[in-house]
Chains A and B, each alone.
Chain A
Amino acid sequence: MMSALAPVSRQSLRWLEHDLLVFRRTWHSYLLSGLTQPFLYLVAMGIGLGVYVNRNGSLPGGVPYLDYVAPALLVTQAMIAAAGEAAWPIMSKIMWDKTYQAALNTPIGALDLLFGDLMWIALRATLLSVLFLAIIVLLGAAASPLVVLAVPVAVLTALAFAAPIMAFTATQEGDAGFNALFRFGITPLFLFSGTFFPIEKLPLFLQPLAWVTPLYHGVSLSRSLSLGQVEPVGTAVHLAVLVAFLAAGLYAGRITFRRRLEV
């Protein structure tokens, strides 16, 4: 109960520390794989495809395509990385390496593990997003200095995905469910949540679907900051949806983690 009221318990920080110790050995491969793909997308879409899009001048306000797509990719790369981290590595800690089992024999409890690993996902999302932001600035793809706020937006979006997925992971007996989750959930979202083109271009019946997914809101928020086109009402709605997903994920995770680990 105590850790539910104060998620950032000392024990959850101890678990975060464990993750950092492991990361000391793996950070290079992590950054390499975490940044390569979004960077390729940035070059292929923003610069390659962008030439054709810009020629048509079809984006609202004549925004260059690179400027349009870069802040969105900032959010989606954080989201995809976090979604993956909430799936396979958590499964390993529960079932394969059983490092959770080892920690549970100490004062650390199930909820400390949940919050500790969620903080760890947030930290890595911050790291990736800061690096990605640097690339965007170097490419001159941000119109407004508000783009720095796209980093917390990316982290919040990452958590809005990671928390529910962690809750889901704790209910799984293997990684079969993750393949379905990514094939039918994460990848379609990546393509159809307004990252590469406005969702207004989607068939009408699909648009409401985009509104209820957290990625659309993260992408829209990040883009409005980068382009310097922030409007208060839209911002509030976007934030509210992201926070709601995070809260729902935390609530579910508290139940599924305890059910899985306290048997």
Chain B
Amino acid sequence: MTDTLATPTALIHASGLTKRFGAFTAVDAVDFDVAPGEAFGFLGPNGAGKTSTMRMIGTVSPLTAGTLRVFGLDAAHDGARIRARIGVVPQADTLDSELSVLENLLVYGRYFDLSWAEARRRAIELLDFVQLSERAGDKVEPLSGGMKRRLVIARALINEPSLLLLDEPTTGLDPQARHLVWDRLYRLKARGVTLVLTTHYMDEAEQLCDRLVVMDKAHIVAEGSPRSLIERYVTREVLELRFREVEGNPGEGDYLDGRLDGLAERIEQLPDRLLVYTADGEAAAAAAYERGLRPSSVLVRRSSLEDVFLRLTGRSLVE
């Protein structure tokens, strides 16, 4: 799987990458490569090993086994040199509540050995980039969740990194705040910054990622572009059927399954609805109706990454 990509030009190269905490294996011998300029995603439910993988790439967490090279440097030995060239947006904001918005950026720039003047120049530019200029002198605490996230992204850019690691960059943000963050990430990508992000939002992965891996229980279970994953693992369309009778009556599902035989490549039963995977959703809906099914609601939609995930793990991602 990695043969074609394991070239010297890979920005990140991981093989057999493993992280164990005592007896618990968080990441179990995963292989992946990230090319320069790519937007690469780790998709998976909580506890799948995404954050552990990100922390190893960021060289804040030592690997238990395997090899990991970032910019061609060995993560196990060149941590400080690697960290000097990457930007990190951690899951928790970790802003300094005792400093102002501007000072948070200045002091962070100093950690990268920027002069005060240079740190200030970049900080002012970055506050403008994340639309926080007018809050420069404010304390951090009164900022909204979306503003804090944007400040953390600005902070991660102070060293002008060529690689940006984002761990669940929009978790907990309202839709407007998410779109603003996405917009800034697009712009960074357009400038050639390599983005590596984790998410458990399907739409985020589809929006941002050129290529992604699906992680589950410490393993990588699939790899590809969002489109290719959808083509490989699910049908073009999904027919969603809701039945009042199904609610609280799991036995009913099997009965329905039988009546839908031959209509679909695969049927996924969720607590509140049936997902019928088929090339032509409208035709399947009509056929189901002919066979006497009377769903309370019918929806035909294009398949999404969420369907891929259901296919791969047999359960819903957003729990």
Contact = CB atoms under 8 A, between A and B. Distances in A.
| Bound pair (A, B) | yes
B21 A263 contact: yes
Interface string A98-138: 11011111111100000000000000000000000000000
A15 B96 CA distance: 13
B98 A102 contact: no
Contact of A22 (B80, B98, B155, B159): B98
B103 A105 contact: no
Given A14-B113, A17-B110, A262-B61, A102 B94 contact: yes
B186 interface: no
A22 B110 CA distance: 14
A102 B83 contact: no
B96 A99 contact: yes
The residue in B61, B110, B113 that gathers the most chain A C-beta atoms within 10 A of its C-beta is B110
Contacts of B88: 105
Interface in A1-35: 10-11, 14-15, 17-18, 21-22, 25-26
B281 interface: no
Nearest to A97: B97
Given A18-B110, A99-B94, A263-B61, 8 more contacts: A14-B111, A98-B92, A102-B155, A105-B86, A105-B90, A107-B83, A109-B79, A262-B62
B54 to A, nearest CB: 11
B196 to A, nearest CB: 14
A262 B112 CA distance: 20
Nearest to B61: A263
Contacts of B5: none
B291 to A, nearest CB: 56
B92 A101 contact: yes
A102 B79 contact: no
B62 A106 contact: no
A21 B208 CA distance: 37
28 contacts: A11-B111, A14-B111, A14-B113, A18-B96, A18-B107, A21-B99, A21-B103, A26-B98, A97-B98, A98-B94, A101-B92, A102-B90, A102-B96, A105-B58, A105-B83, A105-B86, A106-B83, A106-B111, A106-B159, A107-B80, A107-B83, A107-B112, A108-B111, A109-B79, A109-B80, A262-B60, A263-B21, A263-B61
Interface string B72-96: 0000000111011010101010111
Contacts of B129: none
Contact of B107 (A21, A98, A104, A107): A21
B182 interface: no
Nearest to B19: A263
B112 A106 contact: yes
B95 A102 contact: yes
Contacts of A107: 80-81, 83-84, 111-113
B294 to A, nearest CB: 55
B81 to A, nearest CB: 8
B233 interface: no
A11 B112 CA distance: 9
Interface in B34-89: 58, 60-62, 79-81, 83-84, 86, 88
Contacts of A22: 96, 98-99
Contacts of B95: 102
A18 B116 CA distance: 12
A18 B110 CA distance: 9
A97 B111 contact: no
B299 to A, nearest CB: 43
